[in-house]
Structure 1
Amino acid sequence: MNKVPMTVAGEAALRSELEHLKKVERPRISDAIADAREHGDLKENAEYHAAREQQSFAEGRIMEIEGKLSNCQVIDVTQITRTGKVIFGTTVDLINVESDETVTYTIVGEDEADVKNNRISVGSPIARAVIGKEEGDVVLVKAPGGDIEYEIDQVQHI
């Protein structure tokens, strides 16, 4: 199975969520199930069914996070040699050639992507178009809404 790239911060966030699920949520849900069982008939017990549903969700998320962590390749972007090229973990300023609008994106792993905070997945159309390019290069992004040309204004290795 292919390793999935992830930043150090992304791995830490997943490990923190996993620890919270195992040490806080699991015991809370187990207590809720035990309390609901004490109320009698389980067939018509809404609290019991809600707690079981929460348990199912939590266990599924635990399995999902453990799978992601076992298949991730943690990349410490602070240790990467600065080449001036766009690579995983860099922040890139792009200028839309048509409209002169500037956008800034940080290229991160899939689980860390958050478009509202300008963090895009390494597999996104924009990231795929700019990876390996340098400042001053013009790239064509094949987006769902049509092709967009961007000029790479600045590459920051943060």
Structure 2
Amino acid sequence: MTVEGFNTLEVELQRLKSEERPRIIQAIAEARAHGDLSENAEYHAAKEAQGLNEARVADLEDRLGRAEVIDTSKLSGDTVKFGATVTLIDEDTDEKVKYKIVGDMEASVKDGKISISSPIARALIGKSKGETAEVTTPRGARSYEVVKIEWK
């Protein structure tokens, strides 16, 4: 996991603990004040929200506790590996795309971050500028040429 990804998860964990948890506790208290809990939809909804929040907190604490954090700003090299930002050209469509290879928890294609375990990243690992990577996708085989490898 990158330092940025670790920090993002830490911020989410703090928000869940310091903002969501008290808000849900308040909602449960208000719902309890309405009386009969067996037919109180607000109470049951608040208890469900509490369960979901606590499950997410436990999941984040577990992942952060086991995370192997790598400072990508200290990485360099001429081949694609974890932490690299890679500019590619789809050889079939000539479309240019740019991806940063990150850990599974921080992957977001819309943000240009792909998981190290994704088919594209696995095909790119070890490639140098000018080399072609063959990727099997749900839409069939694709060929990408590595145009640029950056370390940011």
TM-score for the superposition, normalised by structure 2: 0.96
Give the Å deviation of 1:83.
Answer: 1.1
Alignment of structure 1 residues 113-132 onto 2, 5 Å: 113-132=107-126
Which residue in the other structure is 2:93 paired with? 99
Higher helix share goes to which structure?
2
1:58, 1:118 → 2: CA distance?
28
Residue 76 (1) aligns with residue 92 (2): no
Which residue number in structure 2 is paired with residue 64 of structure 1? 59
Question: Which residue of structure 1 lines up, in the alignment, with residue 103 of structure 2?
Answer: 109
User: Which of residues 83, 87, 90 is equivalent to 2:81?
Assistant: 87
Aligned residues: 152
Aligned partners of 2:74 and 2:25: how far apart in 1? 43
1:47 correspondence with 2:42: yes
Aligned partners of 2:126 and 2:33: how far apart in 1? 61
- CA deviations 1:78-98 (Å, max 9, x no partner) are 112x21111111110111122
Aligned match of 2:18 in 13, 23, 29? 23
Give, in angstroms, the shift of residue 32 of structure 1. Answer: 1.1
Higher strand share: 1
Distance 1:38 1:45 in 2: 10
- Give 1:28 shift: 1.4
**Long gaps (5+) in structure 1:** 1-5
Ranges in structure 2 where 5+ consecutive residues have no aligned partner: none
SS of 2:79 mapped into structure 1: coil
Q: Residues of 2 paired with 1:120 and 1:38: CA distance?
A: 47
Q: Following superposition, which runs of at least 4 residues in structure 1 exceed 6 angstroms of deviation?
A: none
* C-alpha separation in 2, matches of 1:101 and 1:36: 54
SS in structure 2 opposite 1:129? helix
